Structure formats: C-alpha cells, structure tokens
Amino acid sequence: NAGVTQTPKFQVLKTGQSMTLQCAQDMNHEYMSWYRQDPGMGLRLIHYSVGAGITDQGEVPNGYNVSRSTTEDFPLRLLSAAPSQTSVYFCASKGYGYTFGSGTRLTVV
Amino acid sequence: ILNVEQSPQSLHVQEGDSTNFTCSFPSSNFYALHWYRWETAKSPEALFVMTLNGDEKKKGRISATLNTKEGYSYLYIKGSQPEDSATYLCAFYSGGGADGLTFGKGTHLIIQP
C-alpha cells in the first residue's frame, strides 16, 4: 500500500544542472500533478496529467518538463536549474481527494 | 488565477477548546472544495471533499460545512488535542478547463497543552 512515492527526498543542485524528480503511484489513478510549495505562497500547480500520454501546464510551468509514458509514473524534469526553483516539490494523484507524495526539498545554489 | 483565501493565517488554541476557521473561494464555476491536514515534515492528508451546497462532513472531532452560493467553507475542531496541531489547507476545484486544485495558503493551528 505505497500510495504515491517520490524520490529523492532532498537534493542540492548547482545553477544550470538538470535533474529529474521521480513520482510513482500504485493506485491506478489517471490524474497526477506536480506542485511546488514556497513560503507565503501555498501550493502552486506546475504541470498535470489526466492520463498516459497527456500532460498540460499549470500555473507555474516555466523551467519544468513532464512526461507520462505510463499510468504509474509522472517524472518532473528541471532542464537548467535556477535559484528561483529552490522549493519543496509535491507530486499528487487524484482519487478521493488527492494523495500526496512525501515531498522533495530542492536547493539550487 | 483563482483566489482562495484562508483565515486566520495562524491560530493558537488551548487544549480542550473548540475552534474553527474559514476558507473563501469563488462562488462561480464551483465543482468541489477540498480540505487537507498537513503536519510538519509530512505530506498533506485529505480530510474532506465537499461538492454540494449545504454539505456538512464529519470525521471524528473535525467537521466542515460548505456554502457554495456565498463562497465559503468552515472547518471546526471540537475539543482540540495537541495532535490536531497542523496546517489546514483548503483547495478549490472548478472542474472544467485547466485541471488541478487552487490552494489557499493554509491556517496554521497550534494547540497549547
């Protein structure tokens, strides 16, 4: 009964580096999404997917790419990390309410 | 960008007291209102999904009401306990078009023994 699994939990990147945040769910949910959480800003939607092969932009998509090749996985890619991307990232899938992963704390120096 | 407001921003309550706080959201294009409980260093946990005007949901000592016509929801906690300390988030879902929830910034609740 894993729910939503996010890795890594912590990451430090240098400006300009790229990385992928992994997200997997085992609940067969069609809808998955990525949020970032910044102090005083609440949770903001980056990208979402309504099913395998379908993705769309949320409120703050710039600097991020996503893909959805399977129902289970929804990775988030940072193409060229910037200090403004320092944040806590949450992946979520939608069933009754949303089930969130445990978060990735990313620092870009 | 949809505006979801939560008040108060933070709240200190004595153990055993009851408390409530508010979520305000757009009254047009309403589909659902979610409440989440978010403990420090953990991920948000779904409490309620509310869809009907006048809805009232209850889970133990926590309950919520919904008024979609005037665009607000109240979350009530009866007989607060230290384990109720958390940030309570509400999120508005309009259903159509761009998907996803619009979150409020949360009410940070601290229960003092």
Task: Please indicate whether, in this complex, the C-beta atoms of A43 and B89 are within 8 angstroms of each other.
Answer: yes
CB < 8 Å to A59, chain B: 1, 100
Give B1's pLDDT tier (boundaries 50, 70, 90). low
User: pLDDT at position B90, please?
Assistant: 95
Q: Which of A40, A48, A56 sits opposite B105 (nearest CB)?
A: A40
Task: Please indicate whether, in this complex, the C-beta atoms of A33 and B89 are within 8 angstroms of each other.
Answer: no
Neighbours of A75 (CB within 10 A): 16
Structure token digits, residue A54: 């379908």
SS3 category, A74 = coil
| Cross-strand partners of B34 | B49, B91
Q: Is A38 on the interface with B (CB under 8 A)?
A: no
pLDDT at B112 over 80: yes
SS3 category, B82 = helix
Q: Is A85 on the interface with B (CB under 8 A)?
A: no
Give the count of alpha carbons within 13 A of A108, CB side only: 17
Positive or negative CA dihedral for B39, B42, B48, B53? positive
Positive or negative CA dihedral for A17, A23, A29, A33? negative
CB < 8 Å to B36, chain A: 97-98
Residue B97, C-beta contacts closer than 8 angstroms, at least 6 positions apart: none
The mean of the pLDDT values for chain B is 91
Tens-digit pLDDT profile for residues A40-70 = 788 899 999 999 999 999 889 999 999 999 9
SS3 category, A85 = helix
Q: Is A5 on the interface with B (CB under 8 A)?
A: no
Give B96's pLDDT tier (boundaries 50, 70, 90). low
* Integer Cα distance of B2 and A59 in angstroms: 10
pLDDT at B98 over 60: no
- Quote the DSSP letter at residue B84: G
User: pLDDT at position B65, please?
Assistant: 97
Asked if omega into A8 is within 30° of 0 (cis), the reply is yes
- H helix count then E strand count, chain A: 0, 11
Chain A residue closest in CA terms to B4 = A42
Q: Which of A89, A43, A37 is nearest to A66 (CA)?
A: A89
Residue A15, C-beta contacts closer than 8 angstroms, at least 6 positions apart: A81, A82, A83, A108, A109
Tens-digit pLDDT profile for residues B3-22 = 899 999 999 999 999 999 99
